[in-house]
A and B are shown apart, each in its own frame.
Chain A
Amino acid sequence: MSDLTLLDVGKLDDATRSALRRLILTLADSKRLMGIRYSDWLLGSPSIETGIAASSMAQDEWGHARLLYAMLKDLGEDPVVVEHERPAKAYASVDPLDAPFPDWAAVVAGMTVVDVALAVALDACAHGCFEPATTRVPKMCAEEEFHRSLAFAWYRRLAASRSDEARGLLRAATEAMLPATLAWLGADDAAARALVDAGVTQSGAELSASFRDAVGDVLRTGSVDVDAMAPATAWDAARARGPGHPDEEAVERARGDRNRMLFVE
């Protein structure tokens, strides 16, 4: 990072402003989708306690998303429009959240890979020079510590399972999520470099290294070597992700389409 002088958003050039918007959106959309994917497991998770934890984490993620969307105000953008009027193909959430997690092993892989990657990215922002992130993100990071604890405990437990199926599902889900997650976190395109130059966040290489350090040991228990995994190559620079998008049903839920007409302001 260049220095710790707080960013003067009003003086940003267009490219850096656009890059900052992309970063905020990718974090906010990912949090919004992560909350939806957790909410699918309020019922049907392995125990009542796990369902309560999933419920609580869904609330955490939606709270984080709301705070992140609100940061768009600093860029002169109306967060309400962004939250409620975009089509699925405009979402910048990370690729592994495009579809529901099909089983509990995928939830655990998602907690371990995607949620930790998001936490690494947020932590870097908390130590950068974009003031709204420095003040609002530390509480998010504190909440994410509990997500990480649950993720790692469950990951180790499933990885040590006597069930070949459980171990196989966990490994397959993990290996399916890692390439796109590594591509997002390790992005080194012009927008990513602009944010590093501005001091908003760390470089893709630094973020990737932090992520590999964070999850390397636990993934190894599931026979996954994160250092051997390559980032995905398909890249949509406008949204900092691959070319797909979340399923329409999830985005309708995110926007609140069905009951929006009942909303009285």
Chain B
Amino acid sequence: MREYVYDVFARKSRGDQLAHIGYVDALDDETARVYAWKTYDEENWFEMCVVRRSDIIPVNRDDGPFSRGREEGR
């Protein structure tokens, strides 16, 4: 069963910067939502979102984890 890496971003308050707080391996977007919410529940987040790592477009480097995710398609 193929899984994908989803990066998790969140902010504690409305005015905070959205911060990268971790990642989850998930089957699809729906399981990624649940895994992220259940895994990173140590804070009372104002907002949390996930994005499949392979959908992130690198801007200035091609050797970072996000670039590798894109190359590997996961």
Contacts and interface: CB of A to CB of B under 8 A. Distances in A.
Interface of A: 46-50, 52-53, 55-57, 146, 149-150, 152-154, 157, 161
B1 A49 contact: no
Interface residues of B, number: 16
Contact of A146 (B25, B27, B28, B34): B34
B39 A153 contact: no
Contacts of B74: none
Given A47-B3, A49-B39, A52-B39, A157 B34 contact: no
Interface of B: 1, 3, 24-28, 30-31, 33-35, 37-39, 41
B38 A149 contact: no
Given A46-B1, A47-B3, A56-B41, A157 B27 contact: yes
Chain A interface, >50% SS class: helix
Contacts of B24: 49
A48 B24 CA distance: 9
Nearest to A50: B35
Contacts of A154: 27, 31
A217 to B, nearest CB: 14
B38 A56 contact: yes
Given A46-B1, A47-B25, A52 B30 contact: no
Contacts of A46: 1
B33 A49 contact: no
A56 B39 CA distance: 8
A111 B45 CA distance: 25
20 contacts: A46-B1, A47-B3, A47-B25, A49-B24, A49-B25, A49-B38, A50-B35, A52-B38, A52-B39, A53-B34, A53-B35, A53-B39, A146-B34, A146-B38, A150-B30, A152-B30, A153-B30, A153-B34, A157-B1, A157-B28
B69 to A, nearest CB: 17
A153 B31 contact: yes
Nearest to A60: B38
A55 B38 CA distance: 9
Contacts of A57: 38
Contacts of A47: 3, 25
A149 B33 contact: yes
Contacts of A49: 24-26, 31, 35, 38-39
